[in-house]
Amino acid sequence: MCGFVTLWHAGDEALARDMVARLSHRGPDATEVTALAGAPVVMAHSRLAIIGPDDGRQPINQGDDMLVVNGEIYNHEDLRAILGADEFESASDSETILHLFRTGAGRWISRLDGMFAFVLATPGRIVAARDPLGIKPLYMARHGEGLIFASELKAFDGMGLVDIEAIAPGSLYDSARGHRQWYRIPHGAAEAEPGLDVTATARELRLVLVEAVQKWMVADVEVGSFLSGGLDSSIIAALAARSRARAGKTPLKTFAVGTEGSPDLMAARKVAAHIGSDHHEHAFTPADIADVLPHVIYHLESADIDLVRSAIPTHFAAKLARRQVKAVLTGEGADELFAGYTYHHGYVDDPRALADELTRSLGTMHNINLQRVDRVTMAESLEARTPFLDRDLIDFAQSVPASLKLCRTDADAAEATGPTTEKWILRKACADLLPHDLVWRKKAQFDEGSGTVDALQEALRMITGTTGPIGRDVEGAVYERFLRQAYREPDMVLDNAGTWEADRVRRPAA
């Protein structure tokens, strides 16, 4: 996991070094700046060593080609065997991208399985691409006749650039051929076909989940897991704990945060005891929130109220985890795949509309929840991994009818007429992993279950010097003020930031 900058017909090593310095939190293990011989290209890279820590230095400079990568390629060993191990000069998973590109295959990039953003340069050509859902960030700016690429917007701050865009998830930019969408999210199924074996569907989902977690734990360093006590992170942690136990490794390290006595801390303790993890927790206070809020907003690159609220517990969890590990698993993506948000309940009688909404929301994760997870964890030099967003799991989950994700049912029968239950098929698939009351516990947003909402109110009163409830208008103004104070060009950041409410279709709750 890393941060990088690439200049193409756009500057020199001094500029690249200045830009990548603002991304040093993404990769504290090493920083290198390299110019490509015979080409107007400079690349800078700050590295967090996860795979191939001894010989995975970047930029990767081989022959006439140079490459910088942020992320992980989980099928790199399979690709290495197919491409020929003798072609490789390092143990780094990132080098796989270079050799796939050199095959000249039309859809070479589709063979990469993981989370990634990269820029690859040859003397007369530059290629930049991003993983299917945009788990890892990548921005491109036009600078005169050239292009500048960077992992975060803050790298561009103060440069006066007006033409900045995010490389879209699942897309590739080629200076020789333009933009291309190499991955499209499969559209979700709506109603179950007659005769569908629901039990078999849940069983298959479980198998796909197991494989995804095992795949996303591949690393040359220890991988821990966030554990909020909610369904999603608990499932991931339970599967990861089993995987480590089967491999004869030490217990999984889990990390939970919240205010003292909050529901999340209590639930996480119960889950940790059940799965036998090496559990760590931290209780934060309103004063702690007031202290870290400017830092969180600067790194989040957004003043959106809902994102800031959820970023606060993420920050404390990341700081806690980084004392023990370099990488963690998270439960991000389950709500979008399996209908886990409160507003989804309004779709319970319209599976087609629900399937459409889930597909839409998957396509917008990159500039809301995935931006939060990436920026806030990387601010603490911690790699966050999202097994629910594994490509194989996305494909399978989108084939599961929406009517099995959100339905009027209880814990025992898919055809019951009880209260609306979100993520029903996911709960059924993982019912044996966790205590019954936790499997069927109603969802609470991370900022609610952790106690952040109430503590944040008190923190905002400290910041504003006022008493009484703080409304969303005042709250939003505080966040924007902090962002504007942090950047020389705050409008550049605000203009490129996503918002939770954007394009979201809400219906009255059922």
Q: Could you say which DSSP state residue 28 is in?
A: B
| Long-range CB contact pairs, 83-90, < 8 A, 24+ | 89/62, 90/52, 90/55, 90/56, 90/57, 90/60
Please state the separation of Cα 417 from the chain's center in Å: 36
Q: How far apart are CA 266 and CA 272, in angstroms?
A: 10
Q: For the chain, how many residues are written? A: 510
Please name which of 400, 423, 352, 389 lies closest in space to residue 183, comparing C-alpha atoms: 389
**Tokens 């098929």 correspond to what residue?**
425
Q: Is 14 helix (H, G, I), strand (E, B) or coil?
A: helix
Compute the distance between CA of residue 372 and CA of residue 297 in angstroms, rounded to an integer: 10
Cα radius of gyration rounded to whole Å, the chain: 22
Q: Taking Cα atoms as reference points, which of 450, 453, 446 lies closest to residue 258? A: 450
Q: 84's torsion region: left (phi>0), alpha (psi -120 to 50) or beta?
A: left
Distance (Å, whole) CA 277 – CA 203: 25
CA-based nearest residue to 187, from 344, 399, 366, 19: 399
Would the annotation count 221 as a binding residue?
no
Find tokens 């290209």 and name the residue: 41
Find all residues with CB under 8 Å of 295, minimum gap 6, and list them. Answer: 315, 379
93 is in an annotated binding site: yes
The yes-or-no answer on residue 430 being catalytic is no
C-alpha closest to that of 236 among 257, 214, 213:
213
Place of tokens 């701050």: 157
Q: CA 282, 291, 258: angle at the middle one, nearest 5?
A: 25
| CA 82 centroid distance within chain | 29
Q: How many CA atoms lie within 13 A of 196 on its CB side?
A: 18
Would you call 260 exposed, middle or buried from its count of C-beta atoms within 10 A (0-12, 13-18, 19+)? exposed
The single residue listed with the structure tokens 């030099």 is 381
Which is the catalytic residue, given 1, 2, 117, 236?
Answer: 2
Q: Which residues are annotated as a binding site for ATP?
A: 257
Q: Catalytic site residues?
A: 2
Q: Which residues are annotated as a binding site for L-glutamine?
A: 93
Q: Which residues are annotated as a binding site?
A: 93, 257
